[in-house]
Amino acid sequence: MDTRFEGKAAIVTGASRGIGLAIAQRIVDEGGRVCITARKQETLDEAVAALGADRAIAVAGKGDDAEHQESAVKATLEAFGRIDCLVNNAGINPVYGRLVDLDLGAARKIVEVNCLAALAWTQRAYHGWMAEHGGSIVNVASVAGLGSSPGIGLYGASKAMLINMTRQLAVELGPAVRVNAVAPAVVKTDFAKALYSEGEEKVAQAYPLKRLGVPADIGSAVAFLLSEDASWMTGELVVLDGGVTLTRER
């Protein structure tokens, strides 16, 4: 395995399982160290054990909580002395239905967690380390942010906002910090189970590659964007979708 992250440290939010854990695992596998965050301490402890206690630490809390963000940044600097990479992966989608019927309290929470929290984490990582030393940030968006998404319209709108924020931050933070994003389609995680509950094989038929994504598919792409292999990329959105968006009507 490459050692692209040797001597570097990262924060990955929403990383006790699924896509976030796969990203953290890839960073560790390539020589880096990580601080992972999520809400539940028990699942974080299990994730740290899998990653290696010499390579990973965990800070439990809600992604949109300012005190939690401050604690995680502080813990990362104390443990590793640096924050070279940030992955804003934490996200929620607590409601399903038409926008016209959507509870506005739930809508505000989606925007808080999926967009404003990502901005807050970026601000803290930037002012805490990256402004002076440089760094790389990847935001985990979604193909739902590329067009209409029946039933998850506000989630899609929040991811569209995150994509736009990625481009804006890339302009503002360059050249010291690169900011990119990925947009996965359906990945086999607990978070996305409802999207393939009718049958994985049936859903996968819409994909030219005839399979759904797995967390490692996203981990490898994010690792590339974080690394110096992508040193001339910023403000870009990498779509990771098995080709499914090619079949959408335009």
Nearest-10 Cα torsion for 16, 17, 21, 23: -130
Place of tokens 């300012």: 66
Predicted confidence pLDDT, tens digits, the chain (250 residues): 579 999 999 999 999 999 999 999 999 999 999 999 999 999 999 999 999 999 999 999 999 999 999 999 999 999 999 999 999 999 999 999 999 999 999 999 999 999 999 999 999 999 999 999 999 999 999 999 999 988 999 999 999 999 999 999 999 999 999 999 999 999 988 776 666 667 788 888 889 999 999 999 999 999 999 999 999 999 999 999 999 999 875 4
Cα 32 to chain centroid distance, Å, stands at: 17
| Radius of gyration of the chain, Cα coordinates, nearest whole angstrom | 17
Write down the pLDDT at residue 199: 72
Write down the pLDDT at residue 200: 81
Q: Which positions are annotated as active-site residues?
A: 155
Which residues contact residue 164 at a Cβ distance below 8 angstroms, ignoring those fewer than 6 apart? Answer: none
Place of tokens 């309290």: 105
Cα distance between residue 58 and residue 227, in whole Å: 22
Buried b / exposed e over 70-83, threshold 16 CB at 10 Å, is eebbebbeeebebb
* SS3 of residue 232 by DSSP: coil
Q: Is residue 6 exposed (0-12), middle (13-18) or buried (19+ Cβ within 10 Å)?
A: exposed
Write down the pLDDT at residue 182: 98
Q: Within 13 A of 42's CA, how many CA atoms are on the CB side?
A: 0
Answering whether pTM is above 0.85, one says yes
Pairing mode, strands 56-60 and 33-38: parallel
184 prior amide bond cis, ω within 30: no
Counting every residue, how long is the chain? 250
* SS3 of residue 90 by DSSP: coil
